[in-house]
Amino acid sequence: MQGMILAAGMGKRLKELTDNNTKSMVKVNGVTMIERMLRQLDDLKLSKIVLVIGYKGKELTDFVSTLGITTPIEYIENEIYDKTNNIYSLFMAREYLLMEDTLLLESDLIFESAVVSKIIENPYPSLALVAKYESWMDGTVVTLDEENNIKSFLGKKDFKYEDSPSYYKTVNIYKFSKEFSASHYVPFLEAYSKALGNNEYYEQVLKVITMLEKPEIKATLLEEESWYEIDDAQDLDIAESIFAVSPEDKLNKIQSRYGGYWRYPGLIDFCYLVNPFYPSPKILDEIKANLERLVCDYPSGMGINSLLAAKYFGLKKEHVVVGNGAAEIIKSLMEILPGKIGMAVPTFEEYPNRKRKDDIVPFYPKNHNYSYTANDLMEFYENEEISLLLLINPDNPSGNYISKEDILGIAAWAESKKITFIVDESFVDFAEEEGATLLQEEILSCHPNLVVLKSISKSFGVPGLRLGILAAYNTELIDEIKKDVAIWNINSFGEFYMQIFEKYKDDYKEGMRRFQNVRRDYIEDLSSVKGLRVVPSQANYVLCEVLGSHKAKDVTEALLDRFNLLIKDLSQKNGLNGEYVRIAVKRSEENDKLVAALKEILE
């Protein structure tokens, strides 16, 4: 078997990265794509490698000559690379296809070696390598029957998003037997090029072949194997995180993205904290049905969005401000309210990050579970000079919970001390106490010093909509925050969600009921893992101490590198003394995967 790499293209979408070299010479984590691919093919002991070159061909051949590849390399030059597409490059190499079986690749791919092993080791003589279609993918897709025969090749004109669950993306790696090339591919390639020209893609020939009664080509499916096609700078950025040089580098690069993990097939996110049982399919269907209108219309301004949030929570609109996620409101609140602030530590870093270090008066719980009571806070801050007191309830990352009655006790105490009491109840709906929210007009009116924040993203499971609210009886504070944020800080999807989510209150309650049961079982399962101490939690996450010789950082890296599971390493977090990780509560099947992986690593 021989290898054949198509590397004549200009790679214009990579812009300045291909000004002075070919697309295949762009580096991924310090190694060019062509070097990586040639070394992988060199390990296969092929008879030769045919390299079709064009743009910056001399630079490419000069570079390849320095790599010490032992497999013989033969070059074919496409001199009109700027006027043709890859169908012409393959047309120029057609005589090689007739000589022996061929492994055909495009040069803008990066993949682990198991990818090519999968297609070579499959005994079927002619195969297209495909992967389940994901929304981030671009290019040719195919449909398959039950026996992995390719039913059709679909271009952009034929693509229908409603049918995408049944689509497979071509990985642009093929295995053609000599017989298939002679009887099918080369004759059709010659006829297609002659009839329709050379500014096409070679998959068009395969599209025609699949219309035959016996096309003689099947597909083989990738599953967990990693690969990526690099067409632009964003692709390069993602590829560098997938194919990082070490588990530590991979974790750092993925964590620094702060989300967008739909681009990583198979990755399960236990780091970011959202409700696994809401929104329901019904509310999502209603949003989908209004998608076109929501994309094309402006959202309402702050006044209307405050009214929508107030209506759901039973508040007056003048007491509510809606944010682009809770983070926007936290930033504004911390900048507007002056003076020193008291807070339990460890805590959610968004608050202390918005204050000067000298303005923070920390309270450190003196126990291994980082738990504390209302009395603990009031006793500690009784003689401290603070203007603000922050309570996250349940707290992040400890999961510590203070009852509603006791929080109101703190509110009364704070009022007597002329302290503004800020309660972040983003996770309160996950607590076992029913009706624990402070978002009630009666409570706000009785406690004018009270400020309540809630991240709708977390409890309602819609982080992509970026919604959060702040409520207070202090209308001067509300008005100041409204002036501080943009008038259109909420998009149409977020506004529409607030308009309709009251209809689905029963679904939300049912989701929370299911969550309580799953969390109970999850904590029990985590507690069975040797080398792991589980801290009691009433939130949708669990703080765990890694015991023995294991380090939290190593466990976090191993989970991502070996199992594609992302958790939060807290070993460097202020206020924690030891090796700690934070793990989200997800659906049972996902939780089971994490528990099994932890057992394999720790035991």
Query: Boundaries of CATH 3.40.640.10 in the chain?
Result: 281-506
**2-239 under CATH 1.10.3720.10, yes or no:** no
CB count within 10 Å of CB 231 equals 16
The pLDDT of residue 198: 79
Cα 301 from Cα 310, distance rounded (Å): 14
User: Among residues of the chain, what percentage have pLDDT more than 70?
Assistant: 100
Is pLDDT above 80 for 156? no
Min mean pLDDT across 186-200, 246-260, 542-556, 562-576 is at: 186-200
User: Among residues of the chain, what percentage have pLDDT more than 90?
Assistant: 82
Q: Give domain 254-273+528-602's CATH superfamily.
A: Aspartate Aminotransferase, domain 1 (3.90.1150.10)
The pLDDT of residue 199: 74
Query: Boundaries of CATH 3.90.1150.10 in the chain?
Result: 254-273+528-602
pLDDT level of residue 574 (50, 70, 90 thresholds): very high
Bridge-partner residues for 54, per DSSP?
A: 56
Q: What is the pTM of this model?
A: 0.88
**CATH of 281-506 among 3.40.640.10, 3.30.420.10, 3.30.500.10, 2.40.30.10:** 3.40.640.10
- More confident of the two residues 4 and 83: 4
How many CA atoms lie within 13 Å of 347's alpha carbon, on the beta-carbon side?
23
Alpha helices (H) in 417-448, listed in sequence order: 441-446
Query: Boundaries of CATH 3.90.550.10 in the chain?
Result: 2-239
DSSP 454: E
**Unique residue bearing structure tokens 């002991």:** 45
φ, ψ at 578 (rounded to 5°): 140, -170
**Unique residue bearing structure tokens 């096609």:** 229
Task: Work out the average pLDDT over 555-565.
Answer: 96
Report CA-CA distances (Å) from 492 to 324, 434, 488.
Answer: 12, 32, 9
